[in-house]
Every structure is written in C-alpha cells, then in structure tokens.
Amino acid sequence: MNFMKTTMLLAALTALFMVLGYSLGGSGGAILALVVAAGMNLFTYWNADKIVLKMHNAVEVDAASHPEYYNMVQNLAKRAQLPMPKVYIVDQAQPNAFATGRDPEHSAVAATTGLLKMLSHDEIEGVMAHELGHVKNRDTLIMTMVATIAGAVSMLANFGLFFRDRSAGIAGLMAVLIAPFAAMIVQMAISRTREFGADAAAAQISGKPLSLASALAKISGVAARTPNPVAQRNPAASQLYIVPGGVRQMFSTHPATEDRIAALQAMAQSGGSGGSGGSSPPPDDLAGMARPRKPSALNPTR
C-alpha cells in the first residue's frame, strides 16, 4: 500500500513539475522538467536521510555522548523489531522530532534540544516511539521525497511567477499560481493519515499511549509559538515533524492535536496497547498541559 501511495504521489508531483515546465517553456520546458523530476526522484531516494539531516544541521550522538537518549531509542527499536537507526540531536528551540531514511535499514531519528529539555523521560519515549512508528510503517521515504519535490515545485513556481515570458497566456500564469497549492493538497492527503498510524504504532511499541498524548499536549502549543528556521525556509518540511508548528490548521499536514490525543486516550482505555503510560497524567488533564516544566534528565549537554 505504501509503495502504491509513493508511486502515485511521485507521479502527481512530477506531473505538476511538467505542467510548470510547459507553462514556462512549452513542450521543451515540459521535457526538461520531466528529466529534472526523474533525476530528483532518484537522487532523493538514495540520499533522503542525508538531505533532511543536513537541512537541520543535525549532530549524530551515541551511547558515549548521550547514553540515556541513545539507549532509549535502542530499547524502543528492539521492542519494535527494527534495525537500530542512527540517532541525532538538532540544536533548535522548537520542541519537535522527526524520522528519515529510505527504509528501516537506512533510517535515522532526531529530536530537538527544545523537546529534550521540555519533556519527561516517558514523554520523550512516547515521541521517539512515534518516530520509530514512521520507520516501521515505511513512511519516512515518502515524507522526505515530498518535502524535497514539493519544495522544488514551489521554488520553480515562484521563479516562473517573476521571470516568465510576458507573452505567456493566462493559463501559464494560473499554472504558476496554483501548482504550489496543488502540491500542498497532495501532501495533506497523505500526511494526515500517516500521523494516526504512527501514533498507534507508538502506543504498541512503548505500551504508554498517554505518555505520547501528554507530550503532544505539551509541545503543540509551544511549537506553534516558537520559530522553526528550516520550516520557514521550506514549508514543505513541516510534514516531517511530530507536530507541524506555526502552520494554520487548514494548511496543516497533520490532523488536529486534539483528535490525536483523543485517539490515544481511547487506546489507553481499551487496554489494547499495553497500558496507560504509568506516571502519565489522567486523560482529562491532557488538554491544558502546554506549560513549562522542570527540564528532563535527557537534556543534552554541550
């Protein structure tokens, strides 16, 4: 199923690229856009993790430099029956996390310093289990490729808007204006369902759905108020994160946080995910938890 989604998504974004190429340069522009899109698809497939990690200036850590954080991911990967991913920290105030890589054998997970400072051990465990859920569900390839190709579509459209031939007709102008929004709609259609799937996988992996619910409640409001330089430069990157941050809900690549929390509460009440999360707060308290707390023991030292 994910293979089909990936194929359909890449076909749709490649078609958008060709429409833009045609609007800017006729049939020759369309052929050039097709060649560029094909090359981009291949390059992104083999270099997905490197692109995203370099974009964030992520720093790889190990058991010697950050033992608690690294060992947590290692234990979660074992529970999920996944190969050990590479583990990274991003020096960024916005509390967030992401996973990347073309498959479970070439995956990486990362958390920001803001997230590690803000959350408790159990909450960080829930967040990293969510990211491993994306790896297990093989979402990471499509997430990275969408971020790269949709960003390229928007860049080409902006270029065309300012530098297109004045003799081009209204159709060309409409293509340039509409293509970025079409790419965003494609992102939204794929991304929103994936987040529920990764939340469910996290509940199974960690056995603590309320810990993830608590983390989502705490970080969503703070993330919306805290700048994210990478997402500001490339809005298509917002779909990579556990919470989008700074994106209006109608354009968000994620479902509403309240809906995700409600789904996790239902899992905890059903008992089908291995427990309610131990020391996590009761469900009724989760909605109002976006406030500062004592830093976690996982707070990275520099």
pLDDT at 29: 77
pLDDT at 86: 97
CA dist., res. 112 & res. 93, Å (int):
7
Expressed in angstroms, the distance from the first to the final Cα of the chain is 42
- Residue 56 resides in a domain: yes
215-228 confidence digits (pLDDT tens): 999 999 899 899 99
Choice among 123, 125, 131, 195 that is catalytic: 131
- With H, G, I as helix, E, B as strand and everything else as coil, classify residue 100: strand
Residue 38 has pLDDT above 60, yes or no: yes
| pLDDT, average across residues 88-103 | 95
- Pair 79, 205: CB distance under 8 Å: yes
- Residue 55 resides in a domain: yes
Percent of the chain with pLDDT over 90: 42
Q: What string of DSSP letters covers 106-169?
A: GEEEEEEHHHHHHS-HHHHHHHHHHHHHHHHTT-HHHHHHHHHHHHHHHHHHHHHHHHS-TT--
H-type helices in the chain, by residue range? Answer: 2-55, 67-79, 113-118, 121-136, 140-163, 170-206, 209-225, 229-233, 257-270
pLDDT at 8: 73
Quick one: which of 249, 257, 265, 247 has its CA closest to 220? Answer: 257
- Pair 89, 56: CB distance under 8 Å: no
- Neighbouring CB atoms inside 10 A of 225's CB total 10
- Strand-pair partners of 61: 87
For residue 111, name the pLDDT band (cuts at 50, 70, 90): very high
CA dist., res. 50 & res. 201, Å (int):
25
Residue 235 has pLDDT above 60, yes or no: yes
pLDDT at 52: 86
CA dist., res. 6 & res. 142, Å (int):
6
For residue 295, name the pLDDT band (cuts at 50, 70, 90): very low
Residue 279 has pLDDT above 50, yes or no: no
- Residue 299 resides in a domain: no
- Pair 192, 254: CB distance under 8 Å: yes
pLDDT at 186: 59
Domains: count for the chain: 1
- Token pair, residue 114, equals 């803001």
Residue 296 has pLDDT above 70, yes or no: no
Residue 302 has pLDDT above 50, yes or no: no
- Token pair, residue 107, equals 């995956």
107-112 and 97-101 beta bridge pairing: antiparallel
Residue 71 has pLDDT above 80, yes or no: yes
- Residue 19 resides in a domain: yes
pLDDT at 170: 53
Quick one: which of 243, 237, 302, 224 has its CA closest to 55? Answer: 237
pLDDT at 187: 59
The residue segments making up the domain with residue 57 are: 2-288
- Residue 296 resides in a domain: no
- Residue 298 resides in a domain: no
132-177 confidence digits (pLDDT tens): 999 999 888 877 776 666 666 666 666 665 555 544 555 555 555 6
CA dist., res. 177 & res. 290, Å (int):
37
52-62 confidence digits (pLDDT tens): 899 899 999 99
**Where is mean pLDDT largest: 20-34, 42-56, 143-157, 286-300?**
42-56
For 101, the enclosing helix (H) or strand (E) is strand 97-101
pLDDT at 254: 82
Strands of the 107-112 sheet, one edge to the other: 59-61, 86-90, 107-112, 97-101
Reading phi first (left if > 0) and then psi (alpha if -120 to 50, else beta), residue 271 is in left
- Residue 43 resides in a domain: yes
- 131 belongs to the catalytic site: yes
Mean of pLDDT over the chain:
79
| pLDDT, average across residues 102-114 | 95
- Residue 279 resides in a domain: yes
